């Protein structure tokens, strides 16, 4: 595999490690830099008298360093790899020293031991299994899960009967206790859904429909598990998987395998809230059979993940699928070839085809949460909300962090592109072609279907104490609803109805028609894009706030008459909004695509038209919820520079709904164009429950001449000032009170 700056950075355990690693990527910090075949080694200057000995083997990759860092890889290992990527000529070639060969020998011995263990394990697997013991253990776990689900259903029925209106006010420990009970019942999958309930009910918006949907999914699992012994084996396997009762790898590998050439479509890394582990999800597509496959890898937070699965590469291997009605998850039994660059397999030609495939899968597995989609010729449209549109004009909603969506728009320029992602929560989650993409999904819920909204309204009111009847509906679900209406227990009937309804709606997902005309693509560029090395350097500068280097990069690129890489245009335009001195260079380097993007983003329009954000341009209240926090700050900064009063009014209306950290940062935005009219707002911030917010407001008020805070501080100083005559000298001293009263704390004075 060819290593690049981004691939090395993806190995970092966190952003701090990545930044520290870049700080070590300078030959001046190294006494020795050397390589041989797939091994790098070096000696890096440290704080002690002896340099740190750093070794890297590219194949896995593997790392070793004598520094005391607990991060893996450490900053020295990252710096060594970055140096090789950017300055390979700085490395000398030759035989490795003893401390490197010892490490390589120890690794070879470990590999041999692992191979011996694997062989012994294979031999153990071939031994006859005690069927009675296995059956007894399975029956014991089945009974524990069934008992746990029955208790959970009693609790959910009681909540629905009494009404869901109290859910947002329930403390987190209510849900945490219920989740822990399901973990004790050996059903962690049900525990995860309960924790999702806690997040949804605390998130506002369409919480009732979202909560009812999760409850309905739990009800469906419980009903299915009551009939577990009557289900077909594949459906039993699906249900076990949803509840977190997985087969061992050894059991799975006994199944039949599929030999094919597998192409890596996308890789994501998420954190499992229950265990705290990193979960690496690797989506593969087979070149010959067209089947998708999902590999899951788990690792502690500070441990590097497998980078051998790189999007855009493929390998020949034998995979074994976990038993399922819709086989997706798989294990690699054996690999026949190393990774090689290859084209992606064919995807869905239209959005309708993709949704039809998902619908067929969801009809068989009603609790299917994620489904892979490789879409051909789709265009991201920066609307509110964002959506994808295909060549037939059909659309599906997009859901992700706004910064990624703007990056997609910049890559597209209004033209169709091929896009891989997951269909979940009735939205398409794009997965870019990065080695380790860490998605930050939006928390907002889509508007619920009218039928589900009506059921959620009934659930909020509750079924107890009134003659509740399941509402009648027509269409293909009419018979189901009539049958459910005959259920004797209203709360259970409502949950069953919601389960059937949500399963039907998910399986019957259809593309929507666009709500507005599709934008014209951007005009063709005249200048070429900058070279890959220059693009990598710009990415490093933007990621690490290298402001002093950014001006130099822009000047050199402008002199070379080339354009900035498309995927970095959103970050460049953000920089230009904050730093007017960059706007001329950014306009030149963004080209026609920058102009096209600015048509969709009011903040970026200011880069091209200084009058774009004036008193005449109204602020849409929906902007606060719809914008990425970073984009929101840029918008407010631009508005503050041109119309401080409007910006302050917006803050006064919206700031209280944010977290303490965000409230403090938003308050600090008033530093620009600070004026006496800001004093009432800042005085109100002194009443904030957060110390950081009060301190931010006090700092601004102290810089405002004639402010009430300064007068109060002066009065306090005068009351604390003591004078004493000694001979011909006057001695001044301060005698503040022993304890800070509430007024002092309000003004930012804290007890030492």
Q: In which band, very low, low, confident or very high, does the pLDDT at 635 lie, cut at 50, 70 and 90?
A: confident
Q: How far apart are CA 268 and CA 78, in angstroms?
A: 21
Q: In which band, very low, low, confident or very high, does the pLDDT at 622 lie, cut at 50, 70 and 90?
A: low
CB distance 624 to 662 below 8 Å: no
* Residue 94 vs residues 33, 39, 40, 41, 85: alpha-carbon distances, Å: 11, 11, 11, 11, 19
**Tens digits of per-residue pLDDT, 686-717?**
888 888 888 889 889 988 888 888 888 888 88
What is the dihedral sign for C-alpha 95, 100, 106, 110? Answer: negative
**Tens digits of per-residue pLDDT, 101-146?**
998 888 888 878 877 776 776 666 565 666 777 788 889 999 999 9
CB distance 615 to 644 below 8 Å: no
Q: In which band, very low, low, confident or very high, does the pLDDT at 563 lie, cut at 50, 70 and 90?
A: very high
CB distance 720 to 735 below 8 Å: yes
Name which of 239, 212, 85, 89 is nearest 149 in CA terms: 239
Lowest mean pLDDT across 302-316, 403-417, 612-626, 685-699: 612-626
**Residue 527 clears pLDDT 80, i.e. is over it:** yes
Average the pLDDT over 324-329 and give the result: 93
CA 416 to chain centre: 25
Tokens 């080695």 identify what position?
A: 435
Name which of 569, 578, 622 is nearest 603 in CA terms: 578
What is the dihedral sign for C-alpha 65, 67, 71, 77? Answer: negative
Average the pLDDT over 482-501 and give the result: 85
More confident residue, 513 or 527: 527
- The residue ranges of DSSP E strands in 475-597, in sequence order, are none
Average the pLDDT over 247-276 and give the result: 87
HSE (CB half, 13 Å, CA atoms) of 491? 19
- What secondary structure letter does DSSP report for 616? T
In sequence order, which residues have a C-beta less than 8 Å from that of residue 102 and are 6 or more positions away?
none
User: Residue 606 corresponds to which tokens in the numbers above?
Assistant: 């200011």
**Residue 514 clears pLDDT 80, i.e. is over it:** no
pLDDT at 745: 78
* Residue 234 vs residues 156, 226, 230, 506: alpha-carbon distances, Å: 28, 16, 12, 21
| Residue 490 CB neighbour total at 10 angstroms | 21
Average the pLDDT over 425-438 and give the result: 75
In sequence order, which residues have a C-beta less than 8 Å from that of residue 126 and are 6 or more positions away?
none
pLDDT at 616: 36
In sequence order, which residues have a C-beta less than 8 Å from that of residue 357 and are 6 or more positions away?
348, 371, 373
Please write down the HEC assignment for all residues of 221-262: HHHHHHCHHHCCHHHHHHHHHHHCCCCCHHHHHCCCCEEEEE
- What secondary structure letter does DSSP report for 61? T
Q: In which band, very low, low, confident or very high, does the pLDDT at 438 lie, cut at 50, 70 and 90?
A: low
The domains found in the chain, sorted by start residue, are 5-109 (no CATH), 146-246+447-513 (no CATH), 248-341 (2.40.50), 351-430 (no CATH), 532-600 (no CATH), 621-746 (no CATH)
User: Residue 44 corresponds to which tokens in the numbers above?
Assistant: 């890096």
* DSSP bridge pairs for 267: 282
The CA angle 127-131-136, to the nearest 5 degrees, is 135
Q: In which band, very low, low, confident or very high, does the pLDDT at 627 lie, cut at 50, 70 and 90?
A: low
Name which of 325, 310, 308, 315 is nearest 287 in CA terms: 315
**Residue 752 clears pLDDT 60, i.e. is over it:** no
Average the pLDDT over 159-184 and give the result: 91
First to last CA, the chain: 57
Q: How far apart are CA 630 and CA 627, in angstroms?
A: 8
Q: How far apart are CA 501 and CA 509, in angstroms?
A: 12
**Tens digits of per-residue pLDDT, 276-296?**
788 889 999 998 888 999 999
In sequence order, which residues have a C-beta less than 8 Å from that of residue 303 and are 6 or more positions away?
13, 72, 278
Characterise 51 by phi-psi region: left (phi > 0), alpha (psi -120 to 50), beta (else).
beta
Q: What is the mean pLDDT of the chain?
A: 84
CB distance 373 to 336 below 8 Å: no
pLDDT at 415: 92
More confident residue, 58 or 668: 668
Q: In which band, very low, low, confident or very high, does the pLDDT at 298 lie, cut at 50, 70 and 90?
A: confident
Lowest mean pLDDT across 112-121, 523-532, 569-578: 112-121
HSE (CB half, 13 Å, CA atoms) of 528? 5
In sequence order, which residues have a C-beta less than 8 Å from that of residue 201 and are 6 or more positions away?
167, 168, 170, 207, 211
* DSSP bridge pairs for 512: 395
**Residue 74 clears pLDDT 80, i.e. is over it:** yes
pLDDT at 695: 87
Average the pLDDT over 603-623 and give the result: 60
Average the pLDDT over 425-451 and give the result: 67
* Residue 318 vs residues 222, 315, 321, 716: alpha-carbon distances, Å: 35, 10, 10, 78
Burial class (CB in 10 A: 0-12, 13-18, 19+), 385: middle
User: Residue 88 corresponds to which tokens in the numbers above?
Assistant: 């390979």
Torsion of CA 330, 336, 339, 341, to 10 degrees: -100
pLDDT at 483: 79
CB distance 743 to 732 below 8 Å: no
Pairing of strands 30-36, 371-381: unpaired
* Residue 293 vs residues 258, 268, 305, 330: alpha-carbon distances, Å: 11, 14, 19, 6
**Tens digits of per-residue pLDDT, 338-384?**
888 888 888 999 999 999 999 999 999 988 889 999 999 999 988 77
| Residue 282 CB neighbour total at 10 angstroms | 23
**Residue 436 clears pLDDT 60, i.e. is over it:** no
- What secondary structure letter does DSSP report for 486? T
CB distance 668 to 700 below 8 Å: yes
Q: In which band, very low, low, confident or very high, does the pLDDT at 305 lie, cut at 50, 70 and 90?
A: confident
User: Residue 114 corresponds to which tokens in the numbers above?
Assistant: 């692992």
Pairing of strands 92-93, 30-36: parallel
DSSP structure string for 263-302 = EEEEEEEEE-TTT--EEEEEEEEETTT--EEEEEEEE-TT
DSSP structure string for 96-154 = --HHHHHHHHHHHHHHHHHHHHHHHHHHHHHSPP-HHHHHHHHHHHHHHHHHHHHHHHH
pLDDT at 204: 67
């Amino acid at each position: 595999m060819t290593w690049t700056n981004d691939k090395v950075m993806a190995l970092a355990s966190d952003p701090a490690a990545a930044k520290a690693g870049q700080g070590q990527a300078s030959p001046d910090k190294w006494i020795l830099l050397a390589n041989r075949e797939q091994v790098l080694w070096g000696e890096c200057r440290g704080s002690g008298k002896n340099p740190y000995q750093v070794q890297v083997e590219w194949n896995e990759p593997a790392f070793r360093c004598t520094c005391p860092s607990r991060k893996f890889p450490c900053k020295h290992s990252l710096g060594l790899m970055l140096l090789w990527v950017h300055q390979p000529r700085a490395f000398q070639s030759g035989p490795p020293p003893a401390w490197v060969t010892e490490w390589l020998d120890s690794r070879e011995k470990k590999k041999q031991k692992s191979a011996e263990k694997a062989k012994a394990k294979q031999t153990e697997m071939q031994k006859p299994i005690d069927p009675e013991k296995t059956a007894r253990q399975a029956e014991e776990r089945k009974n524990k899960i069934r008992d746990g689900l029955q208790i959970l259903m009693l609790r959910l029925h009681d909540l629905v009967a009494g009404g869901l209106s109290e859910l947002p006010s329930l403390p987190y420990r209510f849900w945490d206790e219920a989740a822990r009970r399901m973990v004790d019942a050996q059903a962690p999958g049900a525990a995860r859904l309960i924790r999702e309930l806690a997040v949804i009910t605390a998130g506002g918006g369409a919480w009732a429909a979202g909560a009812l949907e999760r409850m309905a999914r739990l009800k469906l699992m419980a009903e299915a598990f009551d009939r577990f012994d009557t289900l077909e084996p594949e459906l039993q396997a699906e249900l076990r998987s949803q509840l977190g009762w997985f087969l061992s790898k050894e059991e799975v590998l006994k199944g039949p395998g599929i030999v094919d050439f597998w192409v890596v479509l996308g890789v994501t890394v998420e954190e499992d809230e229950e265990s705290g582990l990193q979960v690496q999800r690797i989506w593969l597509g087979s070149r010959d059979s067209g089947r998708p496959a999902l590999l899951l890898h788990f690792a502690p937070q500070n441990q590097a993940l497998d980078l051998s699965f790189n999007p855009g590469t493929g390998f020949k291997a034998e995979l074994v699928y976990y038993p399922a009605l819709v086989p997706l998850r798989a294990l690699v039994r054996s690999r026949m070839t190393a990774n090689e660059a290859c084209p992606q397999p064919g995807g869905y030609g239209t959005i309708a085809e993709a949704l039809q495939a998902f619908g067929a899968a969801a009809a068989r597995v009603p609790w299917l949460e994620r489904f892979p989609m490789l879409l051909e010729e789709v265009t991201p449209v920066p609307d509110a909300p964002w959506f994808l549109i295909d060549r037939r004009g059909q659309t599906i909603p997009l859901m992700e962090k706004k910064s990624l969506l703007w990056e997609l728009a910049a890559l597209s320029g209004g033209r169709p592109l091929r896009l891989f992602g997951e269909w979940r929560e009735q939205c398409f989650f794009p997965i870019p072609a990065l080695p380790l993409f860490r998605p930050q999904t939006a928390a907002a819920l889509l508007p619920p279907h009218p039928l589900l909204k009506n059921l959620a309204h009934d659930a909020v009111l509750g079924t107890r104490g009134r003659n509740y009847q399941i509402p009648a509906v027509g269409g293909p679900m009419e018979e189901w609803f009539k049958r459910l209406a005959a259920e004797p227990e209203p709360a259970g009937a409502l949950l069953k109805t919601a389960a059937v309804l949500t399963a039907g709606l998910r399986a019957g997902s259809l593309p929507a028609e666009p709500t507005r005309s599709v934008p014209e693509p951007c005009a063709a560029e005249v200048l070429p894009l900058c070279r890959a090395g220059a693009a990598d350097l710009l990415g490093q500068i933007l990621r690490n706030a290298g402001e002093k280097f950014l001006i130099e990069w822009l000047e050199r690129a402008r002199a070379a008459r080339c354009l900035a890489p498309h995927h970095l245009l959103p970050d460049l335009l953000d920089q230009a909004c904050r730093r007017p001195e960059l706007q001329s260079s950014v306009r030149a380097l963004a080209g026609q695509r920058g102009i096209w993007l600015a048509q969709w983003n009011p903040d970026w329009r200011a880069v091209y038209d200084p009058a774009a954000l004036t008193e005449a341009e109204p602020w849409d209240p929906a902007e606060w919820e719809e914008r990425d926090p970073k984009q929101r700050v840029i918008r407010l900064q631009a508005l503050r520079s041109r119309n401080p009063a409007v910006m302050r009014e917006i803050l006064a209306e919206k700031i209280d709904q944010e977290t303490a950290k965000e409230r403090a940062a938003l308050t600090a935005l008033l530093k620009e164009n600070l004026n006496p009219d800001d004093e009432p707002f800042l005085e109100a911030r002194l009443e904030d429950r957060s110390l950081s917010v009060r301190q931010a407001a006090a700092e601004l008020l102290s810089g405002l001449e004639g402010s009430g805070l300064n007068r109060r501080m002066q009065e306090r100083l005068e009351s604390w000032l003591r004078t004493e005559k000694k001979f011909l000298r006057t001695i001044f001293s301060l005698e503040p009170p022993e304890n800070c009263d509430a007024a002092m704390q309000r003004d930012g004075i804290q007890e030492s």
